[in-house]
Chain A
Amino acid sequence: AQSVTQPDIHITVSEGASLELRCNYSYGATPYLFWYVQSPGQGLQLLLKYFSGDTLVQGIKGFEAEFKRSQSSFNLRKPSVHWSDAAEYFCAVAPGRNEKLTFGTGTRLTIIP
């Protein structure tokens, strides 16, 4: 069965600093990979996705993620965070199209001035 690990439960970053959120997955083949963001009291918004091809994917709000097959990782990065980036971030995987998503436990991002 597939699984997703987000090792950082909570990260605090200064506004303007760079950010990297870690995600590792366990699956026999290359799954479909996603990052979602959930602001307090809000729904889930898709930041970016990886299906195949270029391993560096660009998303919305200035986020990017890099798929590394050898490390089974799909880490999320942003060069300079803004106070509005404070939220919960979830990494998720699916074996293929129209298959169930498995979510990591999430990383809560706090931004300090």
Chain B
Amino acid sequence: SAVISQKPSRDICQRGTSLTIQCQVDSQVTMMFWYRQQPGQSLTLIATANQGSEATYESGFVIDKFPISRPNLTFSTLTVSNMSPEDSSIYLCSVDGQGSGYTFGSGTRLTVV
């Protein structure tokens, strides 16, 4: 199955600033998925990133707030822009592990103060 390296693992950020989260996969994948897990909650899909095209955002998430880059088949970034305390969450990337199920990065625990 695919292995994902996600960083940073955690960060504490000032409100109004931006944070970029990176995910590197050890194999080429078509789709990468970005999720948010708010404190004590389940996972919610933010967007799907397909290499070579703009990301597809779920209802309630917009590109200006969560811009995504997908420069090649093994890498993607998610930026959380103009952060507020409500953005404090765990952010995870995921890929379809080609028959072995969906693999997740270890997550980025973001605290906005």
User: Once bound together, how far apart are the Cα atoms of A49 and B1, in whole Å?
Assistant: 13
Find the residue from A44, A97, A101, A105 having the highest chain B CB count within 10 A: A44
Interface size on B, residues (CB 8 A): 22
A-side contacts of B30, CB under 8 Å: 98
A28 near B: Cβ within 8 Å? Answer: no
Interface contact tally, CB-CB below 8 A:
43
B-side contacts of A101, CB under 8 Å: 33, 43, 45, 94, 102
A43 near B: Cβ within 8 Å? Answer: yes
> Are A43 and B101 closer than 8 Å at their CB atoms?
no
A-side contacts of B99, CB under 8 Å: 51
Residues of B bordering A, CB below 8 Å: 30-31, 33, 41-45, 48, 58, 92, 94, 96, 99-107
Residues of A bordering B, CB below 8 Å: 34, 36, 43-44, 46, 49, 51, 90, 92, 94, 97-98, 100-106
| 20 A–B contacts, CB within 8 A, in A order | A36-B104, A43-B92, A43-B106, A44-B43, A44-B92, A97-B96, A98-B30, A98-B96, A100-B33, A100-B45, A100-B48, A101-B33, A101-B43, A101-B45, A101-B94, A102-B45, A103-B44, A104-B42, A105-B41, A106-B42
